[in-house]
Amino acid sequence: MSNKPVVFITNDDGYFAKGIKTLVNLVSQYAKVFVVAPDQSRSGYSCAFTSKAPLRMTKLSEQDDLVVYSTNGTPTDCAKLAFFDLFAKEKPDLVLSGINHGSNASVNAIYSGTVGGAIEGCVNHVPSIAFSLCDLEKDADFSYCLPIVDRLVRYVLKSHLPQGTFLNVNFPKGELRGWKVCRQADAYWSEEFDRKVGSDGSEEFFLTGRFINREPDSVDTDLWALDHGYASVVPVKINSADESLMDKLNNELIEEI
């Protein structure tokens, strides 16, 4: 009986993307790996799931300790199906999502399907990590990220993470100086649209937008780390309730009544 750890891997770029293949090739050297990933790009789907249409899960390959499935759903669908079917009796030791083509640092984590996959693992009380590289190219070079990916995967397999917390890890494009554990920067998208006229004469809006960092001089954020050649490692809690505000709201709302 194999004593290898069991790792579930998903992404939002599709099962065919170079990023997930790179991650699978690395982790399958020392773990039994199950992949369930979308059959097309589902970037920007965050934690969306499918409720109005049937989902399909198709086995693409199985060899030794690697099994690969594709689905017609989102990254969250992929994780939900995996926990429902593949891991109905025993959960995996680790959930990995990525390696994404493109940044999921700062506010981008809110919109990210890659992060959505890791969140679903976290919801199921399985240690989870989301990996992303700040390079949108299909043939992006992931090789220089692998030593840190490997170290983090092995660390979490050994030491686990607190329940309700996952890691959001981003790599800069190009030279890598190391990594920094940091917080999520306060940033936003100035969501401007290109307004055009469609073939039927109706108005059409195409999202463009500009990414703006509200705190460019803060040295403890993920955006600072990436701008200075470091991988950013951000521990993220899925419980986003502001407990520090509870007493204040209770007292002030009672006074209002």
215 close to 186: Cβ distance less than 8 angstroms = yes
Does residue 255 carry a pLDDT above 80?
no
103 close to 114: Cβ distance less than 8 angstroms = no
Does residue 139 carry a pLDDT above 90?
yes
List the one residue out of 84, 72, 73 whose CA is nearest residue 8: 84
Alpha-carbon span 167 to 157, nearest angstrom: 13
DSSP-derived 3-state class of residue 139: coil
Average pLDDT, whole number, for the chain?
Answer: 95
Query: CB-based contacts of 219: which residues, under 8 Å, 6+ apart?
Result: none
- pLDDT 10s digits, 70-89: 999 999 999 999 999 999 99
102 close to 34: Cβ distance less than 8 angstroms = no
205 close to 195: Cβ distance less than 8 angstroms = yes
CA R_g for the chain: 20
User: Percent of the chain at pLDDT above 90?
Assistant: 90
182 close to 105: Cβ distance less than 8 angstroms = no
Angle at the Cα of 115 (from 110 to 116), degrees rounded to 5? 85
Residue 2: pLDDT band with limits 50, 70, 90: low
Our measurement of the distance from residue 16's CA atom to the centroid of its chain's CA atoms, rounded to an integer in Å, reads: 17
- pLDDT 10s digits, 92-137: 999 999 999 999 999 999 999 999 999 999 999 999 999 999 999 9
Main-chain dihedrals φ then ψ at residue 51, nearest 5 degrees:
-125, -15
Does residue 58 carry a pLDDT above 60?
yes
191: its two tokens: 């969501």
- pLDDT 10s digits, 16-53: 999 999 999 999 999 999 999 999 999 999 999 999 99
80 close to 10: Cβ distance less than 8 angstroms = no
pLDDT of residue 252: 87
CATH topology for 6-184+216-256 is Stationary-phase Survival Protein Sure Homolog; Chain: A, (3.40.1210)
- The structure tokens 């092995």 sit at 154
User: Percent of the chain at pLDDT above 70?
Assistant: 98
b/e map of 118-136 (b: 16 or more CB within 10 Å)? bbbbbbbebbbbbbbbbbe
